């Protein structure tokens, strides 16, 4: 079963934002930025990835339960 477009589009947007954060962290490391700043950004990216994963899982579960209840599973 494919996920519906709405939640998938939202997750893709979130992942692209996280991708930008990771690029920023890489640049920070290359520039020799302060380790506290880097760890702060890593923590923020990690939280964003966790939330995005939860969003994807909850959308998938909701869609599967709805389909099963409708006899489509």
pLDDT tens digits for range 26-39: 999 999 999 999 99
Query: Are 4 and 58 contacting, i.e. CB atoms less than 8 angstroms apart?
Result: no
Q: Tokens for 56?
A: 């994807």
Rg (CA), the chain: 17
Supply the pLDDT for residue 46: 97
CA 34 to each of CA 42, 52, 62: distance values in angstroms, whole numbers, following the listed order: 13, 27, 42
Yes or no: is domain 7-68 CATH 1.10.1040.10? no
Give the pLDDT score at 23: 98
Q: Which residues of the chain have pLDDT under 70?
A: 1, 3-4, 72-73
DSSP letter, residue 63: H
- Residue 73's pLDDT is what? 54
| Structure tokens, 71 | 């006899």
pLDDT, residue 3, reads 66
State the pTM of this model.
Answer: 0.76
């Amino acid at each position: 079963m494919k996920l519906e477009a709405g939640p998938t589009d939202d997750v893709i947007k979130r992942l692209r934002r996280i991708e930008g954060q990771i690029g920023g962290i890489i640049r920070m490391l290359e520039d020799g930025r302060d380790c506290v700043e880097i760890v702060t950004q890593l923590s923020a990216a990690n939280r964003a990835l966790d939330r995005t994963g939860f969003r994807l899982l909850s959308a998938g579960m909701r869609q599967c339960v709805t389909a099963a209840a409708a006899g489509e599973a």
